[in-house]
Amino acid sequence: MLAARAAPDVMSEPSHAARIHALVPCAGSGSRAGSSLAKQYVDLDGLPMLAHTLVALAGVDRLSLVLVALAPDDDEFERRIAGPLRARVAIARCGGATRVLTVGAGLAELARLGADANDWVLVHDAARCLLRPAWVDALIDACLGDAVGGLLAVPAADTLKRETNGRVAQTLDRTGVWQAQTPQMFRLGVLVDAVARAGADATDEASAVESVGLAPRLVAGSAENLKVTRAEDFALAEAILRARRA
């Protein structure tokens, strides 16, 4: 295992004051959700899931740019995301076969659009559509002065079991165990290098950053910031959205 090391000195002689961007990888098919339509476009409380995510990010004043990384053959975005909301984001049909490939391509597109290595990037899952702007602001506040960056996460509350052949093999100690969420916030230069090095082994941006010897900061999030993954998650997310509106 690599020992933790200091973050690269990406702040030396920046071309501008560090800006903050958001990247939303959104190229998945949503097969685990059991829908013929990619899950990011399934309606929840009257809006596509992705629209809820983008509305939340639009409420974060410090974001300079929100980039949505779509699949090359995506033909739903313009049909399902309302024009005023589309106007507030940039899109790139650069998505790959896996999330990590989509993130890598999205980071390259941010650089092409003028972001530099000193800028911060918040990578956020489109399927975490219950995001609140206040949670993003809390992450930014915690990470702006940090040498590495960090992520929203919550301490594990449930008893954890390791499985072998469908049976419990071991009960795991959950002391100090956190469940990772998004957004995850790192400088563009650090993230490009980490994602390229980690490749397919990176399950999220924080794990890529960890793989090059850095230790991301954990910022307390909310259990409400769930990732809509399976069919039953849609009903829960919609109930929360309706409760907020009421």
| CATH number of the domain within which 69 lies | 3.90.550.10
Domain that residue 96 falls in: 20-245
As for how many domains the chain has, the answer is 1
Q: What is the tens place of the pLDDT at every residue in 60-79?
A: 999 999 999 999 999 999 99
* 241 in any annotated domain: yes
* 4 in any annotated domain: no
Instruction: Write down the residue that tokens 């399976």 correspond to.
Output: 230
Report how far residue 186's alpha carbon sits from residue 198's, in angstroms, rounded to the nearest whole number: 15
**Weakly modelled stretches of the chain, pLDDT under 50:** 1-15, 32-34
* 133 in any annotated domain: yes
* 1 in any annotated domain: no
Distances (CA, A) of 179 to 56, 154, 157: 21, 5, 9
* 69 in any annotated domain: yes
* 6 in any annotated domain: no
* 104 in any annotated domain: yes
- pLDDT at residue number 33: 45
Q: Are 107 and 193 in contact (CB under 8 A)?
A: no
* 182 in any annotated domain: yes
- pLDDT at residue number 16: 65
Length of the chain (residues): 246
- pLDDT at residue number 75: 94
- pLDDT at residue number 30: 53
